[in-house]
Each structure stands twice: as structure tokens, then as C-alpha cells.
Amino acid sequence: MFGYGLRKVFYTNFRLARKELTGTILESYDPRVVLLKLDSGYNIGIPLDKILDSKILKKFKEVEISDEDFVSRKKGLKKIGLVVTGGTIASKLDVKTGGVKPLTKLKEFANFYPKLFDMVDVKKIEIPFMMASENMSSEHWIKIAKSVEKLLNDKEIEGVIVTHGTDTLHYTSAALSFFLKDLNKPVVLTYSQRSIDRASSDADLNLICAAKMALSNVAEVMLVGHASTNDDFCFALKGTKTRKMHTSRRDSFKTINDIPIAKVWPEKIEFLREYNLRNNKRKVNLDVNFSDKVSLIKYYPGQKANILDFLSEKCKGIIIEATGLGHFASSESKNNWIPKIKKLIKKGVIICAVPQTLYGGLNPNVYSSGRELKECGIIFLKDMLPETAFIKLGWVLGHRNWKGKEKEKMLNNFSGELSELLTE
């Protein structure tokens, strides 16, 4: 009965004990539950046994559309570019498993998100790959950056939306923040935590707010998604200061040590801080030099320093998530890391510290452990997020002409990765 591309859609009125609801029926993975897309765009689930009566108001067949020309472009709308990379926002429920499987055809994407195509003219779509984000690595960040660059340098395109899985979205947003130099237009990453055909999906609002930001004057790499568990507005967050902080909530992305750039509604934007301005005449430049010879570890009490030997065999740089203001086992401990750190830094390994608390900044000057570690030559990255620091170190080490200047580059604020807003 339900098949994509050619499916019957029922616009239906339901009468429940306490209220009436009208909307379009979605494919449900649970035969005891009806999923209904309300006119507001919000999806809800209604247990079958709560429905007193129902009435089909409209029944229509969707037109089969080809992958090549599926986009129903409306005249007069502003043009954006879209990069689709996989993830839940490009997935649908798998009726068999109750899990989620990827949308494999572009037309499915268009079917699922008609509101986006009512709001903007999606001039070009790039699909560098379709993948769950936990399976990505640097080659994927580079591919996305190249797709984005191509779209940004199209004169007609006002901004670019990248849809992406949530798991490692903040790594990708950091990578794009460093890879896209002299950014001319908005680059908006968005996602969903619940696929669009599921009750209470966040996909619709996220995508529409992403479109709103893609047309704005903000020339920044941003992540746009639910600001709270309410389905009312989104935040636009800085690509280098954001982290997935919840496994399942719709507002799982949070700005750490910073404030959002803006609150975003489908119809308006409220700015919360300064941002870089759009300049459509400028061309964006790609700087995708990246070395995979970096590691990220989190220090825990009792951890042996020989992990550093293992890592430094293949790596030129190591990010350590330190405790507190920037500490790990020092000379007070039997497990002293200082001699090993000194040896590796002498050998040319770049070792950086970031806060494992995530919030707050490092200050190695307060305690003796910190002072000892600082004297070894560790680079303390203030309030930089571990994930952003990992990406940045790979990017810095990818530039051969920056050899010897790694500390200066790591502490240079290229894309807002170091906050100036830090207070207690």
C-alpha cells in the first residue's frame, strides 16, 4: 500500500475522545499507532484505540518524479545549494525492524520535505556520499568541503545547507570551519534526531530554520537545530563551539563556552551575538590540508603513560583531555607522565591539552601539576573543545609550511574556536 515515489496520501480527519485532529497519514512502524503529520508540520502518534472515528478528506496520488528533475522549483524564490550526506535526516523508518534506514533516492528526500521546497529554490544538490556520520573520517570532511565550495562559488546561490548524521556532526562542522577560508555566504549544517516519518520528528523545523539561516547575512559555518524539546524555534550555533550533548533529545546540540549566534524561527531571526557578514562578491577558498596523524585521548586516574608511546609511533600530534584546569599525573604521582611527555615533545610530537570538563578554560598556572606540564612544552588550548582541537591539530599538521609554528597556529583564533566570552 505504501511505496515511495508513487504512493497514496490520505489527508484525514480523526475524532478522539477529547479533540479532533486533521492531517496527513504517515507510514507507521507500529500497526497499533497512527502517525499523523499535522498542518503545523508537527508529527504525532495516536494509539488506534483512542480513535473514535475518522474521515478521509482528500486522497491523492503523488506524481512519479525522476532523480534528475525532482525539484519542483518555484519562480521568484531565492536559490540555495543543498549537500546531502546521509544520517537520520535522510532516513526513513524500516517497518520491518522498527529501526531506521537511509533514503536512497533523491525523490524520497523531496517527498519528505515539501516545506523546504516551498520556501527556497534548491538550485543544486550535491551528494558526495550517503553515510551514517559515525563512519566518516577526514576524506569525507574534505569531500563535503569541496561540494560546499562549488555551491558557494555559484553566483546565484545565496547559501548552502548540509544535511548530516548527528553522531559526529560537530567534528564535521569544525572541519568545515577551518577548511572554508574567506567564507562568503552562510554554510548551515542541519540534522534530525528522529526521522521525518516518525512522531515528533525534529527534521522539518530544523531544515526550514536552516533554510532561513542560509538566506541570512551570516557568513559563518553554523549548525542549526532545535533550541529545546519544544518544536518552536532553533538555535544557530558556531561550528567550532558546538557538541552533541545528548544521545536522543531534539535539542542535543549545545554551544559550549559561547552563546548561540541566533535564535531562528521559520519566519524570523533574532541575533544574540556578532557574526561575519555575507559578501557575495568574494570567492571562498578551500584549505583542506589535513593530516590523519593525530590522536585524541582522555586522561583518567591511573592511566599509564605508555599509551603515548603507542600513539606517537604513528602520530605527529596528540590531544589530551586533561582534568580540571589542565592536569594529569605529574611528579607527585608514581605514575608520573612528565618524563614521557618531555621525551616525546623533544622528538617533535605536538602535545596539546583541552578540558575534559568541556565547560570552562584551562589555566596551567594555578597548581603545581599544571606548571610542571606547561614547562614540558604542552600547548594548553584554553577553552577549545576536544573535538574541535582534534580537527584543528590535524589541519595545522596538514600544512607543511607551518612546521615549527604549530603552537602559534593552535592558539591563533581562526574560526572562533577560542572564546573571548569566558567568565566564571
Nearest approach in angstroms of CB 328 to a copy of itself is 6
Nearest approach in angstroms of CB 82 to a copy of itself is 22
Q: H-helix or E-strand containing 100?
A: strand 100-102
Tell me which of 115, 142, 292, 345 binds a copy of itself, using CB under 8 A. Answer: 292
Stretch that binds a copy of itself, among 43-51, 109-117, 203-211, 356-364 (CB under 8 A): 356-364
Residue 298 a catalytic site member: no
Tell me which of 20, 69, 118, 134 binds a copy of itself, using CB under 8 A. Answer: 134
Question: d(Cα 313, Cα 329) in Å, to the nearest integer?
Answer: 22
The residue among 70 and 171 lying less far from a copy of itself, judged by its C-beta, is 171
Residue 118 a catalytic site member: no
The residue among 41 and 324 lying less far from a copy of itself, judged by its C-beta, is 324
Told to check if 213 binds a copy of itself by CB under 8 A, we report no
Told to check if 259 binds a copy of itself by CB under 8 A, we report no
Nearest approach in angstroms of CB 361 to a copy of itself is 6
Nearest approach in angstroms of CB 182 to a copy of itself is 26
Question: Among the options 12, 163, 166, 255, which is catalytic?
Answer: 166
Told to check if 135 binds a copy of itself by CB under 8 A, we report yes
Output the CA–CA distances (angstroms, integers) from residue 328 to 72, 308, 368, 374, in the order listed: 57, 13, 11, 11
Tell me which of 3, 31, 76, 301 binds a copy of itself, using CB under 8 A. Answer: 301
The residue among 219 and 351 lying less far from a copy of itself, judged by its C-beta, is 351
Q: Which of residues 140-179 bind a copy of itself (CB under 8 A)?
A: 165-168, 171
Q: What burial class does residue 31 get, using C-beta atoms within 10 Å of its C-beta: 0-12 exposed, 13-18 middle, 19+ buried?
A: exposed
Question: d(Cα 151, Cα 83) in Å, to the nearest integer?
Answer: 9
Told to check if 104 binds a copy of itself by CB under 8 A, we report no
∠ CA 268-274-275, nearest 5°, is: 80
∠ CA 147-152-154, nearest 5°, is: 105
Say what angle helices 338-346 and 368-376 make with each other, to 10 degrees: 20
Question: d(Cα 195, Cα 319) in Å, to the nearest integer?
Answer: 34
Per-residue cell: 23: 492531517
Residues 378, 352: contact at Cβ < 8 Å?
Answer: yes
Tell me which of 29, 113, 117, 328 binds a copy of itself, using CB under 8 A. Answer: 328
Question: d(Cα 280, Cα 378) in Å, to the nearest integer?
Answer: 41
Question: Among the options 12, 85, 88, 240, which is catalytic?
Answer: 88
Nearest approach in angstroms of CB 143 to a copy of itself is 13
Residue 166 a catalytic site member: yes
Tell me which of 38, 57, 366, 421 binds a copy of itself, using CB under 8 A. Answer: 366
Per-residue cell: 128: 558526495
Told to check if 350 binds a copy of itself by CB under 8 A, we report no
Other beta carbons within 10 Å of 302: 9
Active site residues: 88, 166-167, 244
